[in-house]
Structure 1
Amino acid sequence: MPRLFIIAGCNGSGKTTASYALLPGMLECSEFVNSDEFAKSLSPFKPESAYVAASRYMLIKMRYLLQRKADFCIETTLATRFLLKVIQEAKEAGYYVTILYFWLNSPDLAVARVAARVAAGGHNIKEETIRRRYNVGLHYLFRDFMPICDKWMLLDNSNVPFTIVAEASEDGKIIREPEKFSKIQAINEEYEKHLEEEKRKHKNVQG
Structure 2
Amino acid sequence: MPYLYIISGCNGAGKTTASYTILPEMLGCKEFVNSDEIAKGLSPFNADNIAVAVEASRIMYRRIRELVAANKTFALETTLASRSIAKLLQNAQEKGYYVTLLYFWLNTPDLAVERVRNRVASGGHNVTESTVRRRYTAGIQNLFQLYIPICDYWMITDNSLSPMEVIAKGFKNGKREIYNPVVYNKLETYE
Q: Which residue of 2 aligns with 1:163?
A: 165
Could you say which residue in structure 2 is the equivalent of 1:178?
181
2:146 to 141, 144, 147: 144
**Match of 1:106?**
108
Distance in 2 (CA, whole Å) between partners of 1:52 and 1:42 is: 11
Distance 2:184 2:28 in 1: 28
| CA drift at 1:29 | 0.3
Residues 159-187 of structure 1 show CA distances to partners (whole Å, capped at 9, x for unaligned) of: 1111110000248200011122122224x
**Percent identity for Structure 1 against Structure 2:** 53
Over alpha carbons, which structure has the higher Rg?
Answer: 1
Aligned residues: 188
State the AA in 2 paired with 1:5: Y
Normalised by the length of structure 2, the TM-score is 0.95
- Name which of 131, 134, 152 aligns with 1:132: 134
TM-score after normalising by structure 1? 0.88
Measure, in 1, the Cα distance between the counterparts of 2:113 and 2:99: 30
CA distance in 2 between partners of 1:165 and 1:45 (Å): 37
The one of 121, 124, 148 equivalent to 2:123 is 121
- Mapped to 2, the partners of 1:28 and 1:117 lie a distance apart of 27
Which position in structure 2 is the counterpart of 1:55?
Answer: 57
In the other structure, the counterpart of 1:7 is 7
Q: What does the per-residue CA deviation read over 1:92-136, in whole Å, with 9 as the maximum and x for residues that have no partner?
A: 110000000100000000011111111111111100110111000
2:104 and 2:44 map into 1 onto residues whose CA distance is 26
- In structure 1, C-alpha distance between the alignment counterparts of 2:17 and 2:43, rounded to whole Å: 22
**Which amino acid in structure 2 is aligned with residue 48 of structure 1?**
D
2:88 maps to 1:86: yes
Where relative contact order (Cα < 8 A, 6+ residues apart) is larger, the structure is 2
- Unpaired segments ≥5 residues, structure 1: 192-207
What SS is found at the alignment partner of 1:146? helix
